[in-house]
Amino acid sequence: MELQIINQQEVLGKNFTIYGTADEPLFLAKDVAEWIEHSDTQKMINNIDEDEKLMRTLFASGQNRQMWFLTEDGLYEVLMQSRKPIAKQFKKKVKEILKTIRKTGGYTVSPETVNEDALIYVLETQKSMRQRQDVFEADLNYLKAEQPINPDVRLDLEKTRKKRVVACMGGMDSPAYMDKSLAKRVFQQAMNDFKEHFRVSRYDLLPKKAIEAAYAYWKNWEPSTNLKMEIQACNSQMSFDFME
């Protein structure tokens, strides 16, 4: 999962970024070292407990990189260890920012303290996140629509097809329907017509988005002209024989 930025601004003249979530904020170790003017980032990291630091993937300089991050406790520990006066100021400011974020869901800074480039970056990041969300939702809806029908729908459509074919042949008691050879050809044509119309090789591959259209198809389906003539001839011949 992509690491999210929840706050970015200028604090005490330094570019200040908070990653993660309001409940579990993370701070890029390299940034922290710059804030407190620590000359050795790795040494700073080594001086805190294992549960106060972690590696996360961050997109930087055009590629994904594994970077060290400090937890909230890790940040406070580093700031306490530092002898730089600015470390104490940062600790106070970080607590203020996190408290506000957790209370209101965001942190508003006055115009004088806003870093314009940082603000633009945050806005662009938020816009990009919304765009990715829109694409994700569109892809999800597409996959749902393209997913094949479930077995219950398939069986119901097959019943609907049979009902339509039987009706076109004159009913289950009709001579045409009782002619097994003729009935088989009519059913086969119905199935072939359906597959050709919906461009599927099997009934169970029909996408969910086509369910309504499939029911409408069987409601209006008719045998070919030649088959209609055979059906009529078969039914008429039987009626004629009965009259004689």
Q: Does 166 share its domain with 74?
A: no
143 within domain boundaries: no
pLDDT tens-digit map of 61-89: 777 889 999 999 999 999 999 988 888 88
Structure tokens at 4: 């999210």
Report how far Cα 225 is from the mean position of its chain's Cα atoms: 47
228 within domain boundaries: yes
Q: Does 102 share its domain with 170?
A: no
Q: Does 58 share its domain with 108?
A: yes
Q: Does 19 share its domain with 104?
A: yes
Flag residues of the chain having pLDDT under 70: 1-2, 105-126, 139-145, 238-244
| Nearest alpha carbon to residue 73 among 99, 48, 101, 43 | 48
Check residue 180 and give its pLDDT: 93
Report how far Cα 76 is from the mean position of its chain's Cα atoms: 38
Q: Does 185 share its domain with 84?
A: no
| Nearest alpha carbon to residue 18 among 90, 91, 72 | 72
Q: Does 97 share its domain with 156?
A: no
Measured distance CA(194)–CA(214) in Å, rounded: 8
Which range of residues forms the domain containing residue 70? Answer: 5-114
Check residue 162 and give its pLDDT: 94
**How many domains, the chain?**
2
Q: How does DSSP classify residue 148? A: B
Instruction: Please give the angle made by the CA atoms of 206, 211 and 215, to the nearest 5 degrees.
Output: 115
Q: How does DSSP classify residue 207? A: B
Q: Does 98 share its domain with 185?
A: no
Domain boundary among 95, 114, 133: 114
Measured distance CA(91)–CA(76) in Å, rounded: 7
Where b means 16+ CB within 10 Å and e means fewer, 105-135 reads eebebeeeeebeebeeebeeeeeeeeeeeee
60 within domain boundaries: yes
124 within domain boundaries: no
Q: Does 108 share its domain with 199?
A: no
